[in-house]
Amino acid sequence: MTRFRLYGAAAAYFACEDREVLCESGARTGKTHSELVKAKFVAETYPGSRQLFARETRKSLTETVLPDWEMKVLGHGHHAIGKARRNNRDAYHFSNGSVVVLHGLDDPENLLSGEFDRFYVFQAEQLQQQDTWDSLLSRLSGSATPYCQATADANPSHERHWLIRRVKETLCFACANVVNPPTSLSCDRCGSTALGRMRHFQYRHQDNPMWFDHELGEWTERGVEYLTQILGRLRGVRRKRLLQHLWVSEEGQILEDWDPEVHRLSGKLEFEPTGWWLTIASPGWSRGSADPMREARIHIDWFGAGADWGFSPHPGALQVWAYDRHGRRFMVVEVCKTGQQVAWWAEAGAALWKEFDLRYIAVDPSANDLCSAFNTRIGEHGGPSIAIGANNVLRRQSPDLAGIDLMRWGLRDPKGTVRTFILKDALRYGVDQSLRDAGRPTCLEEEIPEWVFEKKKSTGNPTEKPDPECADHCLDAWRYEQGEGWGIRMSHELEKQPYPEGSAGAIHRTAEKMERARRWLYED
pLDDT value for 271: 95
What digits encode the pLDDT tens for the residues 150-167?
A: 999 999 988 888 898 888
The Cα 64–Cα 56 span in angstroms is 12
Residue 169 in this model has a pLDDT that exceeds 50: yes
* Cis before 384? omega within 30: no
Buried b (16+ CB within 10 A) or exposed e, 97-121: ebbbbbbbbbebeebeeeebbbbbb
pLDDT tens digits, 260-276: 878 999 889 999 999 99
Domain 8-207 homologous superfamily, CATH: P-loop containing nucleotide triphosphate hydrolases (3.40.50.300)
Select from 432, 448, 436, 426 the least CA-distant residue to 305.
426
Q: 65-74, 181-190, 245-254, 465-474: lowest mean pLDDT where?
A: 181-190
Between 206-215, 344-353, 406-415, 483-492, the lowest mean confidence (pLDDT) is in 483-492
Residue 507 has pLDDT above 50, yes or no: no
User: At 494, is the secondary structure helix, strand, or coil?
Assistant: helix
Question: Who's near 141: CB < 8 A, 6+ residues apart?
Answer: 115, 116, 148
What is the Cα Rg of the chain in Å? 25
Q: How large is the average pLDDT for residues 449-455?
A: 85
User: For residues 519 and 490, is the Cβ–Cβ distance under 8 A?
Assistant: no
pLDDT (0 to 100) of residue 288: 47
Identify the CA nearest to 68 among candidates 270, 201, 208, 204: 208
The answer on pLDDT for 435 being more than 80 is: yes
C-alpha to C-alpha distance for 455 and 179, rounded to whole angstroms:
43
| Span 58-85, average pLDDT | 91
Read off the amino acid at residue 290. A
Residues whose CB is less than 8 angstroms from the CB of residue 492 and which lie 6 or more positions away in sequence, other chains included: none
Q: Is the pLDDT of residue 259 over 70?
A: yes
39 falls in which pLDDT band (50, 70, 90)?
very high
> What HEC string does 221-267 produce?
HHHHHHHHHHHHHCCHHHHHHHCCCCCCCCCCECCCCCCHHHHEECE
Looking at the chain, how many residues does it have?
524
Beta carbons of 292 and 503 less than 8 angstroms apart: yes
Per the DSSP assignment, residues forming a β-bridge with 99 are 50, 93
Per-residue pLDDT band for 213 (boundaries 50, 70, 90) equals: very high
DSSP 84: -
pLDDT per residue over 416-426, tens digit each?
Answer: 788 899 998 89
Beta-strand relationship, 195-196 and 199-202: unpaired
Whole-angstrom Cα distance, residue 280 to residue 480?
Answer: 26
Cβ partners under 8 Å of residue 69, min gap 6? 36, 39, 53, 92
Of the candidates 281, 247, 243, 240, the one whose C-alpha atom is nearest the C-alpha of residue 264 is: 281
Predicted pLDDT of residue 176: 72
Residue 493: pLDDT band (50, 70, 90) is very low
pLDDT at 283: 67
What pLDDT sits at residue 113? 67
Q: Is the pLDDT of residue 29 over 90?
A: yes
> Distance from CA of residue 435 to its chain's centroid?
14
pLDDT over 90 (residue 473)? yes
Give the C-alpha separation, 236 to 263, whole Å. Answer: 23
Distance CA 171, CA 165 (A): 12
Distance between CA atoms of 125 and 445, rounded to whole angstroms?
Answer: 14
Q: What is the predicted pLDDT for the residue at 48?
A: 97
- Give pLDDT tens digits for 96-151: 999 999 998 876 666 666 799 999 999 999 887 788 898 888 889 999 999 999 99
Which pLDDT band, with edges at 50, 70 and 90, does 489 fall under? Answer: low
pLDDT higher than 50, residue 427: yes
Asked whether 53 and 100 are in contact (CB, 8 A), the reply is yes
- pTM value? 0.72
Domain 260-446+459-485 has CATH 3.30.420.280: yes
Domain boundaries, the chain: 8-207, 260-446+459-485
Instruction: Please report the beta strands in 370-419, taking only residues with DSSP state E, as ranges in sequence order.
Output: 387-389
More confident residue, 70 or 498: 70
What DSSP assignment string belongs to 123-173?
TGGG--SSHHHHHHHTT----SSSS-EEEEEE----TT-HHHHHTTS-EET
Residue 32 confidence (pLDDT) above 80: yes
Q: What is the pLDDT of residues 387-400, one digit of tens each?
A: 998 866 444 345 45
**Which pLDDT value is given to residue 284?**
65
pLDDT at residue 499 in the model = 39
| Average pLDDT rounded to a whole number, residues 70-79 | 92
User: In angstroms, rounded to a whole number, what is the distance separating the alpha carbons of residues 300 and 514?
Assistant: 18
Q: What is the pLDDT of residues 214-257, one digit of tens each?
A: 989 899 999 999 999 989 888 778 888 899 898 987 778 889 88
Query: Which pLDDT band, with edges at 50, 70 and 90, does 504 fall under?
Result: very low
Q: What is the mean pLDDT of residues 23-52?
A: 96
Cα separation of 453 and 466, whole Å? Answer: 4
Q: Once rounded to an integer, what is the mean pLDDT over residues 294-305?
A: 88
